[in-house]
Amino acid sequence: MKNKILKFVKSTYGIIIILFIFWMIFFDSNSLIIHRELNNDIKELNEQKTYYEKEISKDNIELEMIQSDSGLEKYAREKLFMKKDNEEIFLIEYDTISD
């Protein structure tokens, strides 16, 4: 059995088939290496897609909140630090570094 395989590999057809397989794996424009890179790109793009879909849903919730008057005032006070004329705003920052 080993003798037949070795004889085939040493023949012209065997060499041509081995070179063809080697060429298709490493050097062809549709090689396995390029397919692996493209699959990695697809995976990264799908992760980005899910991230942006989550961000869109968060923004839609915030947009619904802003459409009411009380929600608009709350948003302006919390996010934009706006105030009424007779008010003062104090920003409290916590020191997260412990000694």
Q: Where are the domains of the chain?
A: 1-28, 31-85
What's the pLDDT score for residue 98? 65
How far apart CA 26 and CA 80 sit, in angstroms, is 56
Q: List the pLDDT tens digit at each of the 99 positions of the chain.
A: 778 877 877 888 888 888 888 888 888 778 888 889 999 999 999 999 999 999 999 999 989 988 988 888 888 888 887 888 888 877 778 877 765
- What's the half-sphere exposure (Cβ side, CA atoms, 13 Å) at 65? 12
Of 81, 77, 57, nearest to 69 (Cα)?
77
Q: Which helix (H) or strand (E) holds 65?
A: helix 32-66
Residue 25 pLDDT? 82
